[in-house]
Structure 1
Amino acid sequence: MNIPFSKYHGLGNDFIIIDNRENSLDTNSNPEQFSKIIAQLCDRHTGIGADGVMFVEYESEKDKQDGLQAHIRYKIFNADGFESQICGNGLRCFTRYIIEKNIVQNKKVVQIRTNIGVLECEELNLGQYRTNIGKATVELSKIPANPFNGESQSIVNQPLKINKNLDSQNLSHLNEETLNVTFVNVGNPHCVIYVDDVETAEVERIGKTLQSRKDIFPQSVNVEFIQILDENTLKMRVYERGCGETMACGTGACASVFAGILNKKNNSSSKVLLRGGELRINVNQEDCSLQVIGPATKVFEGSVQIPLI
């Protein structure tokens, strides 16, 4: 089966977008087989190459039961093949795609159905897009995460001991380090860590170690490493679940600004500098709702044989 696709990126966080309104691919059945197809498409050596794949679909009758009106349905799968709830950079790319393809006609503001509800997104000027990402929470049951220091309902700037050696199962005083962590959910789970210099942070080692802690993060976690430049500016690197380190992460930027408010490190409207560029994050402190402003760029279009042979 030959499937048309488009390739977009948001600050280097890149995605394959497929118009699946005619259900050419069944994204709901046989998850194991479908995850293999996604992983093949995202492979940078033998596939198209991407951090994830997004699908344009119509709303289902089940979707509409909440009474909210959406123009279109959005689904995203990470590079490991498994479905994710939301992606901030991906949502901007998705918004540009559906507007440019006239899937949603004559509109600059669109309502997009996601796995965390209907989100409003808007095309601004000069290739910039504003996306609402829902609301942030530190409630552990909603992240989801388990407490490691008693029966806490949230983890904000709490010390967590981890193993310096990912391959070792024994946590001894000679083989441990302590990280001060803040857990946040912004539609997906995040662990925010403050560092003196993001360029020297051991992003892969610590990211993998925290993602392996199923006792704390049953659905894995995105790990953000944050350097505070001033009260309005953060510098960030991110180790994403299902992808590894990426050039940018919109939800990670949201989680980091929100965590910074809780830790009294930054303002509610802050700039986040990532390896792929910069995002503006706005947090409404009354209801904890989040807004991301940043670019979305079209790379190329093509078609691909599925399954890849």
Structure 2
Amino acid sequence: MKLIKVHGSKNYFFILDQTELSTPLKDEDLIAFTQKITSSKGLLGGADGVLVITTSTHPDALAKMRVINSDGSEASMCGNGLRTVARYLSEKFNQDNFLVETMNANLRVRKEKKLAEGVHTFAVEISPVSFNKSSLPFKNLGHKRIIDTFLPEIYPGLKFTSIAVPNPHLISFMSQKQIESNILEEVGQFLNSNNPYYPDGVNVNFAQILDKNQLFVRTYERGVGFTNACGTGMSATSLAFCLTKPQLAKFNTQISVYNPGGMVKVIVHSKPNYWMELIGNATFTEIIDIPENSLYDLDFSKAKITKTTEQKAYENFVTSLPHFNNLTAN
């Protein structure tokens, strides 16, 4: 059996292709496997989650992707992860443009021109979009929708926008000093523990506007905590950017979104409904050969690991980015 350690903007995962197993893991086994392999004492220093590939029940989709977070919870979508799954399926089936089934929708993915030499790049659809509180959900905040709104219950002096894409996100634009403070950790931990406002938790994104069509985003991810990048978070933040700062962000135009793990491009579309294209790296760092029984036994001692050269190419790309070193210095 082969596992692959991958990342999109240093949002790290293991890809597990259940269709290659003689006996696919049941959900309880998947949760235990994910919690073990992604822990800091797991394999290769752990990861943010496991991307599980299964056979799609939709005739027009090439395969189905499930996202199991490091704590064992399941996310409805993961944009950074979908890019790596798109690459895996592209190479497995020799296709460059196809649909992948996710929890809420079949999403279009395609191979893109490389961001830099040696940096495999894919574009993935992020949708559907909803602003309704029942989709997020939130309560006790006095609003049916939250768009560029002060929420003193959550934090004084900050305006927030809340969007499901379909993962739930809470977004605030602020200064670099505020982003570098402990506000994000405070808000992220509060809203992802027992609280009266987001009962199921929420991904919290703090964004700094760098220039026209340029952002820096940090994310506290539900089920994970601080992460180098969140694909749906960067997509939702780009949509909020276009909606609330129209003098600085344009629809149907590439927005450069920097993050602690690098940079992606997001194109926000408004027709026929809101949806985003997320364009970024799909990097394979290690190929892992492991006996199938080891997945059930949670024993990774027999894993044979082959390191690729792709991480070096990605690091070269990141260090060449304008703004990056200044943004991530703190």
Give the alignment of 1:243-282 within 5 angstroms: 243-264=224-245, 266-268=249-251, 269=253, 270-282=255-267
Unaligned runs of 5+ in 2: 115-119, 300-330
Q: CA RMSD in A?
A: 1.9
AA at the equivalent of 1:308: L
In structure 2, distance between residues paired with 1:259 and 1:201: 23
* Aligned residue in 2 for 1:133: 126
Change over 3 Å in CA distance of 1:116–1:130 after alignment to 2: same
Query: Are the structure 2 counterparts of residues 245 and 74 from structure 1 closer, same or farther at C-alpha, using a change threshold of 3 Å?
Result: same
Measure how far apart 1:213 and its partner are. 5.3
Contact 1:50 1:79 survives alignment (8 Å): yes
Q: Could you list the per-position Cα deviations for residues 258-309 of structure 1 after superposition, in whole angstroms to 9, with x for gaps in the alignment?
A: 1112212532231111011111111111210111111111100114523325
- Decide which structure has greater strand share: 1
Matches within 5 A, 1:234-245: 234-245=215-226
- Which residues in structure 2 correspond to 1:115-126 (within 5 Å)? 115-126=103-114
Cα deviation digits, residues 221-240 of structure 1 (max 9, x gap): 10000011122101111000
Map of 1:167-178 to 2, 5 A cutoff?
Answer: 177-178=156-157
- What is the SS of the residue equivalent to 2:238? helix
Runs of 4 or more, structure 1, over 6 Å off, are none
Matched positions, count = 281
The answer to whether the 8 Å contact 1:136/1:258 transfers is no
| 1:44 alignment partner in structure 2 | 40
2:285 corresponds to: 299
Q: 1:216 aligns with which of 178, 186, 197?
A: 197
> Which deviates further from its counterpart, 39-48 or 275-284?
39-48
The more displaced of 18-27 and 278-287 is 18-27
Alignment of 1:14-25 (within 5 A): 14-21=12-19, 22=21, 24-25=23-24
| Structure 1 residue aligned with 2:305 | none
Amino acid at match of 2:137: P
SS at match of 1:140: coil
What does residue range 160-171 of structure 1 map to in structure 2 within 5 Å? 160-162=151-153
**Residue number in structure 2 paired with 1:169:** none
CA distance in 2, matches of 1:84, 1:184: 15
Please list every run of 5 or more consecutive structure 1 residues that lacks an aligned counterpart in the other structure: 164-175
Q: How far off its partner does 1:200 sit? A: 3.4
The letter of the residue matching 2:97 is: V
Using the alignment, how far apart are the partners of 1:214 and 1:162 within structure 2? 11
Q: In the alignment, residue 9 of structure 1 is paired with which amino acid?
A: H
Distance 1:82 1:227 in 2: 29
Distance 1:303 1:19, change over 3 A: same
Q: In 2, distance between residues paired with 1:205 and 1:274?
A: 19
| Identity across the alignment (%) | 29
In the other structure, the counterpart of 2:98 is: 110
**Structure with the larger helix share:** 2
1:289 to 235, 252, 275: 275
Please tell me whether the aligned partners of residues 279 and 293 of structure 1 are also in contact (alpha carbons under 8 angstroms). yes
Say if 1:136 and 1:290, in contact at 8 Å, map to a contact too.
no
Q: Sort the Cα spacing of 1:57 and 1:191 in 2 relative to 1 into closer, same or farther, 3 A.
A: same
Of 228, 231, 244, 2:212 maps to 231
Aligned residue type for 1:267: K
Does 287-296 or 195-204 show the bigger shift? 195-204
Residues in 2 aligned to 1:192 and 1:122: alpha-carbon distance in whole angstroms:
28
